[in-house]
């Protein structure tokens, strides 16, 4: 057993401050355990969102010592507890209170993505490699840590014009589905803003599901957009035949 100080953001969208809470910690604790202990012993009104405590609901995202992470999957023995451990809400989204942020922007932006549209009367067979390719994207738990860390969203308060890595992953899961016949390339090029992604890969680094967001979702989608709109040979034939 040892003593650790947690420096936690307390406040709302109008502002706030970091407050220190010192607790006795046990071996094997995660940051979310510490937050619960602080709620139980010192700050019953400390707001934080969580549900599963197993890294699967995506609710408990926060910035621990500046790193976007799931609090329930961050063991105290993996971080430096010799000095105060800072815990802040995700920076990209508005704070509701303390560690709880308002992530509804993501659900609004999601409406830009046309839903799964299967080919009518198809007798196609799904091959295992097709299943594997989209299965990776289906592992997403919607924690929005990738949205939080992406500089394109982080630096633009309005967040118009770019749907962000999470929604590019969702678009990839639909575009790469062999039974889907919808075309989402126009959305990706325009209101989806895929051109704003400059492949920094910060999203991939923080994904708790280890989805290869940049390499397997974003880059292949970028290639499809380039093929569709910027390929000089295709463009020549389109001008020639007027399509
Ligand atoms: Fe979270 Fe990964 Fe899904 Fe992004 S892609 S929301 S980081 S699980
Ligand atoms: Fe943002 Fe990921 Fe691209 S962090 S810039 S979406 S590679
Ligand atoms: Fe569900 Fe952390 S509480 S992911």
Ligand 1 atom, smallest distance to 143 CA? 1
pLDDT, tens digit (0-9, with 9 covering 90-100), for 119-130: 887 777 788 988
Ligand 2 atom, smallest distance to 200 CA? 7
Q: Whose CA is nearest to atom 6 of ligand 2?
A: 165
DSSP conformation letters of 62-110: EEETTEEEEGGG-BGGGS--SSPEEEE--SSS-EEETTEE--HHHHHHH
Q: Find the ligand nearest to 193 CA.
A: 2
pTM given for the model: 0.93
Mean pLDDT for the stretch of residues 182-190: 97
Which of 31, 53, 140 to probe ligand 3 with, by most ligand atoms within 8 A of CB? 53
Does the pLDDT of residue 234 top 80, yes or no? no
Mean pLDDT for the stretch of residues 54-69: 97
> Ligand 3 within 6 A of 9 CB?
no
d(CA 62, CA 93): 11
pLDDT band at 243 (very low <50, low <70, confident <90, very high): low
Say if CB 53 and CB 72 are below 8 A apart: yes
pLDDT, tens digit (0-9, with 9 covering 90-100), for 16-56: 999 999 999 999 999 999 999 999 999 999 999 999 999 99
Confirm whether the ipTM is greater than 0.95: yes
Q: At what angle do helices 164-175 and 128-138 cross, to 10 degrees?
A: 160
> Ligand 3 within 6 A of 69 CB?
no
Instruction: State both tokens at 18.
Output: 């970091």
Task: Output the CA 59–ligand 3 centroid distance in Å.
Answer: 5
Within 10 A of 175 (CB to CB), how many other CB atoms are there? 21
d(CA 13, CA 152): 21
Task: Output the CA 1–ligand 1 centroid distance in Å.
Answer: 34
DSSP conformation letters of the chain: -EEEEEEEEEEETTEEEEEEEEEEE-TT-BHHHHHHHHHHHT-TT-----S-SSS-S---EEEETTEEEEGGG-BGGGS--SSPEEEE--SSS-EEETTEE--HHHHHHHTTSPPP-BPTT------HHHHHHHHHHHT-----HHHHH-HHHHT-SS-TT--HHHHHHHHHHHHT-TTB----HHHHHTTT-GGG-----HHHHH-TT---IIIIIIHHHHHHHHHHHT-HHHHHHHHHHT-
Say if CB 69 and CB 13 are below 8 A apart: no
Task: Output the CA 151–ligand 3 centroid distance in Å.
Answer: 24
Task: Output the CA 148–ligand 1 centroid distance in Å.
Answer: 10
Q: Classify residue 205 as exposed, middle or buried by CB count within 10 Å of its CB (0-12, 13-18, 19+).
A: middle
Task: Output the CA 118–ligand 3 centroid distance in Å.
Answer: 33
Q: Which tops the pLDDT comparison, 8 or 127?
A: 8
């Amino acid at each position: 057993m040892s003593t650790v100080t947690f420096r936690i953001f307390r406040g709302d969208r109008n502002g706030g401050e970091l407050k220190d809470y010192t607790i006795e910690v046990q071996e094997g604790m995660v940051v979310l355990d510490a937050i619960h202990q602080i709620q139980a012993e010192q700050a019953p009104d400390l707001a934080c969102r969580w549900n599963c405590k197993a890294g699967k609901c995506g609710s408990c995202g926060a910035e621990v010592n500046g790193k976007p992470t799931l609090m329930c999957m961050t063991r105290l023995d993996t971080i430096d507890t010799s000095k105060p451990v800072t815990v802040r809400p995700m920076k990209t989204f508005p704070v509701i209170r303390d560690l709880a942020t308002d992530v509804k922007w993501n659900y609004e932006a999601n409406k830009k993505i046309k839903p799964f549209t299967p080919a009518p009367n198809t007798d196609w067979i799904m091959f295992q490699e097709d299943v594997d390719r989209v299965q990776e994207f289906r592992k997403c738990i919607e924690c929005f840590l990738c949205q939080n860390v992406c500089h394109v969203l982080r630096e633009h308060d309005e967040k118009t014009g770019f749907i962000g890595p999470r929604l590019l992953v969702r678009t990839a899961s639909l575009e790469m589905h062999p039974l889907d016949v919808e075309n989402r390339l126009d959305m990706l090029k325009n209101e989806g803003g895929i051109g704003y992604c400059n492949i920094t890969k910060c999203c991939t680094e923080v994904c708790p599901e280890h989805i290869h967001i940049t390499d397997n979702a974003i880059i292949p989608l970028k290639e499809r957009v380039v093929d569709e709109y910027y390929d000089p040979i295709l463009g020549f034939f389109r001008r020639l035949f007027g399509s």
